[in-house]
Amino acid sequence: MTEQPRLSNATVSSLSKAVERPGYDRNQVTTGIVHLGIGAFHRAHQAVYTDSVLASGDTSWSILGVSLRSADTRDALVPQDGLYTVATRSGNGDSFRIIGSISRVLVAPENPQAVLGAMVDPAVRVVSLTVTEKGYCYSPASAALDEEHPDIIHDLANPAAPRSAIGYIVEALVRRRSDGTEPFTLLSCDNLPANGRTLQRVVTRFAELRDPELAEYILTNVAFPSTMVDRIVPATTDADRATIVAATGLVDSWPIMTEPFSQWVVEDHFPAGRPAWEKFGVTFVRDVDAFELMKLRLLNGSHSTLAYLGYLAGHETVSDVMKAPGFSGLIEAMMDEEISPTLPPLPGFDLASYKAELRERFRNPALRHRTWQIAMDGSQKLPQRLLNTIRSRIENHLPFDRLALGVAAWMRYVTGVDEKGGVIDVRDPLAVELKNRAGNKSDAGELFDALIGLEQIFGNDLSANEAFQRSVKAQLEKILKQGAGETVAQTG
């Protein structure tokens, strides 16, 4: 077999016409965005919209990506001149596009000064983030900065060589201020409610711990628009890499596999300027909260429920779960009866079609989105995906058995042992604590009691709430007795 050439600036022109490629001269672009957390989601979403902006002739917005931990993305992308393939997959086939908007990638732990140097460049007007929930170094239930977090303790002691996104942001703002450069706009693109305000809260609290006057400066001068981001992006596998080389003829070390759907709703508050993303399908609004709650509760709440129950029932991917008895009905009823009534109104928005489309997206047979992937970091996801929805149901004295089933499935999942006695690889910042509490518990009451005391997940209200206890324990009992698959088949 002859070795296929690697994707790069030199080889991209050899691609067949069927593969879309950067419609601009990549030597002419300049950096306008620093992105913290250059993972697959960013590359399937914001980087794609920005690629279109560059192609429209506004060449001042190329992206400098920063990995806050591992060198993997840099090692994959630098030999490819930052180019990568986005494969859009559906039951109707695949399409391929080469994205060129990422011009450089830095690995923060290798060179914090290079990252700070990039962030103080006056040409950089937006610093965006996809650092996942845990990257905010906060307590998930209260969304307040976790002042005991090792990275926060480190960054307060070593402000000039930080580790956390928060530490980088504050130090860069300090340096810009002393340079007389106006601040950048901070754009959180993570799945958190009111993500801009959450980022603002943790950043200003961190700044306050450094110097109260600095916190005042940030509150007065820095914009933190909130956003709702949506695109399903399963982790790339070696089989995906083989698909890409077979389809395009070029080796790509880290292609991105995603779905046709993509949505980005952004609060239009960018005092330092922004790309004209609205030309390429981004919706700018005054207030994004209602969109964000809708997406977090309907999409991500359903996703987590499908992931925990589906994993326990032995299903590898979301589309497999959707085919198993009862699951599709469970999700539809959960959306219609338990989640939708908790959502703020969005006048003119067709919620019924949105929900039907969500279920279609979950069924996408061409995406292999693993339940295990979605199950990760449950301690960080549960509050905004399921628990806040339950709180709203409780306030209104309404039932929430299906949402409780999702929570119960998480409790069963974090015991770390599956229904056949195999080990579950529970990935979570609280994994050790979860194992200590839940491992080897097989009684519903004991398991519930062991986990409910985790205040950073459940707050201090739910543990005292009788309806919550009753409903979650009853569901847990069923899962433990008859298994997740059978429980869903009977509930759905």
* Residues near ligand CS2 (CB under 6 A): 191, 230-232, 299-300, 303, 373-374, 381
Which residue's CB is nearer to ligand CS2, number 162 or number 193?
Answer: 193
Which residue's CB is nearer to ligand CS2, number 134 or number 303?
Answer: 303
- Nearest partner of 226 among 191, 181, 175, judged by Cα: 191
Q: How many residues does the chain have?
A: 492
Say if CB 77 and CB 37 are below 8 A apart: no
CB of 256 to ligand CS2, least distance (A): 13
The number of angstroms, rounded, from the C-alpha of 373 to the middle of its chain's C-alpha atoms is 11
Cα distances from 148 to residues 137, 138, 206, 437, in angstroms, run 9, 9, 12, 21
CB of 318 to ligand CS2, least distance (A): 9
| Chain residue whose CB lies nearest ligand CS2 | 303
| DSSP H helical ranges for 264-400 | 289-294, 301-312, 318-323, 327-333, 351-363, 371-375, 378-382, 388-395
Which residue's CB is nearer to ligand CS2, number 113 or number 353?
Answer: 353
CB of 452 to ligand CS2, least distance (A): 22
Cα distances from 365 to residues 90, 301, 321, 412, in angstroms, run 7, 21, 11, 28
H or E stretch at 293:
helix 289-294
CB of 381 to ligand CS2, least distance (A): 6
Which residue's CB is nearer to ligand CS2, number 374 or number 438?
Answer: 374
Say if CB 372 and CB 234 are below 8 A apart: no
Which residue's CB is nearer to ligand CS2, number 185 or number 384?
Answer: 384
Q: CB atoms < 10 A from the CB of 272, how many?
A: 16
CB of 235 to ligand CS2, least distance (A): 9
CB of 231 to ligand CS2, least distance (A): 5
CA 118, 120, 123 angle in degrees (round to 5)? 80
Which residue's CB is nearer to ligand CS2, number 176 or number 385?
Answer: 385
CB of 114 to ligand CS2, least distance (A): 29
Q: What is the DSSP letter of 80?
A: G
Which residue's CB is nearer to ligand CS2, number 62 or number 380?
Answer: 380
